[in-house]
Amino acid sequence: MSDIKTVVIPGSKALAELDRLRTEYPRTGLYPILFGDQDDFDRAHDQLRELHEPGPDAEIEESLKLDPLEWLRKRADDDPEYYEMFHGDWPEHPEAKIDIVTHQELRSGKPKPSVIIGLLPVQTPWHVFAHLQWGGWNECPFPAEHCAMHRYWQDSYGAEVVSITGDIVQCVVSRPPNDRHASVQLAKQQYVYCADIVQQGTDTIEALAALLLDGRYWYFWWD
């Protein structure tokens, strides 16, 4: 990631600075991604440094050939046991809505002393995955597949990736689903894209859907 400009700021100021840099992106052409602290940044760098091919332009071109919904269907059909949908009742008391957490200490929730924001020269937020060539381990999709899915979600929900660490992606969402049916349909998509958020997180599609209903932030994690 040697071509990425970075700024280091106190964790307490991370979200405000992230918002400011996102506001300036149309003018600067540099899109901000919150990488977390130095350890988070180093882990991401260690995962990415061996991924030299095919390069961002080729990844973007490949992603444009992918139909996101067809990719989800095939991914689920190829391993129906793994992607079995876990359903339940709509939660009577849904969990608190997800927020951006990359700038916080995991246990205490307090802001980290310092965090890193990278500035990426991309044309649109979903290009970030191609620029970083992020993904392709375990069940984590490959860069072109991330691009295809986030292109679709950016168009459909105004979802923009704002944070990436070694194994976590978070998004800000300007047009989240506002009814239960739409939220359940999105939860099914997100489950196939990232099964861990249900299998090791919410336990059911409906519990995830409750978080997505009018939810302004999305969280993805691959073990």
| Residue spans per domain, the chain | 5-221
pLDDT bin (cut points 50, 70, 90) of residue 54 is confident
Q: What is the pLDDT of residue 213?
A: 97
pLDDT bin (cut points 50, 70, 90) of residue 36 is very high
Q: Which of 131-135, 148-152, 178-182, 217-221 has the lowest mean pLDDT?
A: 131-135
Q: Is the pLDDT of residue 50 over 60?
A: no
Q: What is the pLDDT of residue 188?
A: 98
**% of the chain surpassing 70 pLDDT:** 95
Higher pLDDT, 133 or 124: 124
Higher pLDDT, 199 or 46: 199
User: What DSSP state is assigned to residue 153?
Assistant: H
DSSP symbols for 104-136: B-TTT-PBPS-EEEEEE--SSGGGHHHHHT---
Report the alpha-carbon distance of residue 192 to residue 84 in Å, rounded: 9
Whether the predicted model's global pTM rises above the 0.85 cut:
yes
Amino acid at 50: E
Report the alpha-carbon distance of residue 59 to residue 161 in Å, rounded: 17
